[in-house]
Structure 1
Amino acid sequence: MPHITANGTGIEYEEFGSKFGTPFLLISGYGGQMINWSQEFVDGLVDEGFRVIRFDNRDIGLSQQFDELGIPDMKKIFGGLKDGTAKDHAPYLLEDMAADAAGLLEALEAKPAIVMGVSMGGMITQLLALNHPDAVKAIIPTMTWSSDPTLERSTPEANAVLTERPNPPSRENIIRNAIKANRVIGSGPSLQATDEELAEKAGAAYDRAYRPAGLSRQFAAIQAQPLWHERLSELSVPTLVVHGEVDTLILPQCGQDVAKRIPNARYVEIADWGHDMPPKAVPVVLAEVIPFAKDHA
């Protein structure tokens, strides 16, 4: 896979489809490698003529690791939320990750792009549109949040599995943990992934790159990022907000809030979909995404 320096960060990425197609950038969520965007999802976009780009966010997968920045002190970060100093204790912020995405599009001569981000990637997508408007043609924030601190974001059970770490962190335990977590935050019966599908996905991610220190720094970036929800009314970019009806990690009201804040945004809630992308959900999600993308290509 190719590697490039963007925003001063080493980024691992892949491109699919025609160089002459409208660029379509896919941004992964917290701890998610670019392979989380399945080949079926990518192929569905390529078949419609898009130039699809997926990449590893910093500190995850095969992109640059920031071990020299150490493990963040979350007590200082959470304490700093009260007095506005949280960002001073984080190795980097979500806005830095948005700058990476903008730098990647610049380096690949792929601006402006349609940008779809899931979960943390959806937060990065919003910041990309706010801070680098020349980089985006349209945005699709998916299963994500506006940063409004007054909203209930997760169920207690979902929040618990998000931060649970397997001990010891063996391949077997990580796969077992992924299956357990999915049953809390994942899709309902009609779209649910099988244990075998979940095990294959978790095993592939572990084999490619297991980087728990990067997880801690990405978590700090989410928590320390200065709030941006009140800025979303400034956006004029075409926006489709997609969310799952049974998402327990980022509740549907959070997606609804994103759509309400961005002028003329359209909101789609998919029945029985959770905080995941199981194989059965891929055609359902693409059926919403592709018409919007083609309208703004």
Structure 2
Amino acid sequence: MFTVSDLNANKQCQEAIVNVNGIDIAYQLYGASDHPTLVLIHGLGAPLTAWPMAMVEQFVERGFQVLLFDNRDIGYSQQLEHLKIPNLAWLVVKSKLGLPINVPYKLEDMMRDTIALVDHLNIKNFHLIGASMGGMIAQLLAIHYPHRVKTLTSIMSTTGNKTLPKMSDEVKHIFSAKPDSNSEQDIVKFNVQKWRIIGSPDYPAREHYLNNYVKGLVRRGLYGKGTLRQMLAVMAGKNREKQLAEMNVPTLVLHGGADPLIRVACGEATAQSIRNATLKIYPGMGHDFPVELLPSIVSDISGHIQTHIKTKKDQCDESV
């Protein structure tokens, strides 16, 4: 097993901030450029450090190039402070009534950030892996750019159907709470509590690991207003089930059986909406990536990708 420093030493890590789609987006690119590219998109208020480095390492070891990036309004990417946040109470009322709401930006804008980044990096085709909100963005990419998305893996995500089961009351409470102060210590403490609540009951993270993981998120950049703007983009998202049903991108859906934030029924609905999608549910997994399950998750995703790479190659061979 090698580390980030090893990757950098081998010149296998490229890191920069670039202006794409009118936004400064920070990214890291691991692995060899002639290998199949995985584009990883994370979720609400999650910088690129939210992806466990062990997962990135294992993908690189399996022969993939891996692209990570900070979504707009998080991490080292641009904070869009010039975009005003509308009246939240009124937005919630309108959303519950099924009325259209005006938000600073939409998931489609974040989708365009992603495609602009891969264009900037001259990546023509890629395999998408999206977690939580990142899964929603990845679904939109597969819907609108099926000629470029070779495979889709949607993890702990949903279709945008507002009738699906909602988060637990405990999760709702922690997401509406705030740290005691703006000190790093209090922000880390608060986020450790949050990850404990949404995390995997059968695979509780060790205290030292979780503290270091959260510190990595905080030091990369967590911004309350940025996260709120992202949340509004999710709130304004439309039901994608009809579009997903018309899509023909090979899809793997992964979900934790004990996810209290985006319920397992949401993952099941995602798989049911997509033609020939494969669904795998991990019992006892919550809304996180438990260390114990990383080898299985990486293996499942890699197997899904390799199956469709082989299928495509066989089809090409038959046509010759």
TM surpasses 0.5: yes
Correspondence for 1:278? 290
Which runs of 5 or more residues in structure 1 are unaligned?
none
Q: Which among 210, 223, 247 is matched to residue 259 of structure 2?
A: 247
Whether 2:316 is the aligned partner of 1:268: answer no
Correspondence for 2:61? 47
Instruction: State whether residues 147 and 228 of structure 1, in contact with CA within 8 Å, keep that contact through their aligned partners in structure 2.
Output: yes
Q: Which moved more, 1:213-222 or 1:281-290?
A: 281-290
Considering only aligned residues, what root-mean-square deviation do their CA atoms show, in Å?
1.5
May I ask how many residue pairs the two structures share in their alignment? 294
Structure 2 matches for 1:224-235, cutoff 5 A? 224-235=236-247
Correspondence for 2:316? none
Could you report, residue by residue, the CA deviation over 1:188-221 in whole angstroms, capped at 9, with x for unpaired residues?
23x2211211111111222222321111111111
Structure 2 matches for 1:3-14, cutoff 5 A? 3-14=17-28
Instruction: State whether residues 40 and 130 of structure 2, in contact with CA within 8 Å, keep that contact through their aligned partners in structure 1.
Output: yes
Whether 2:191 is the aligned partner of 1:153: answer no
Decide which structure has the larger Cα Rg and report it. 2
* Runs of 4+ with deviation above 4 angstroms: none
Correspondence for 2:83? 69
Q: Which moved more, 1:27-36 or 1:194-203?
A: 194-203
Distance 2:138 2:293 in 1: 21
Whether 2:234 is the aligned partner of 1:222: answer yes
Identical positions, percent: 32
Correspondence for 2:307? 295
Distance 2:116 2:240 in 1: 21
How far apart are residue 57 of structure 1 and its match? 0.3
How far apart are residue 296 of structure 1 and its match? 2.7
TM-score (structure 2 length as normaliser): 0.88
In structure 2, the CA distance between the partners of 1:273 and 1:83, relative to structure 1 (3 Å rule), is: closer
Q: Which moved more, 1:238-247 or 1:71-80?
A: 71-80
Which runs of 5 or more residues in structure 2 are unaligned?
1-14, 310-320
Whether 2:180 is the aligned partner of 1:167: answer yes
Q: Which among 8, 23, 36 is matched to residue 22 of structure 1?
A: 36
Amino acid in the other structure paired with 1:30: L
Correspondence for 1:236? 248
How far apart are residue 134 of structure 1 and its match? 3.0
Distance 1:135 1:5 in 2: 22
Structure 2 matches for 1:24-173, cutoff 5 A? 24-81=38-95, 82=97, 84-86=99-101, 88=102, 90-173=103-186
Distance 1:187 1:49 in 2: 29
Whether 2:228 is the aligned partner of 1:210: answer no
Instruction: State whether residues 21 and 49 of structure 1, in contact with CA within 8 Å, keep that contact through their aligned partners in structure 2.
Output: yes
Could you report, residue by residue, the CA deviation over 1:45-84 in whole angstroms, capped at 9, with x for unpaired residues?
1111111100000000011110000233222322332363
Instruction: State whether residues 45 and 222 of structure 2, in contact with CA within 8 Å, keep that contact through their aligned partners in structure 1.
Output: no
Distance 2:145 2:19 in 1: 18
Distance 2:307 2:175 in 1: 36
TM-score (structure 1 length as normaliser): 0.94
Distance 1:9 1:275 in 2: 29
Instruction: State whether residues 256 and 267 of structure 1, in contact with CA within 8 Å, keep that contact through their aligned partners in structure 2.
Output: yes
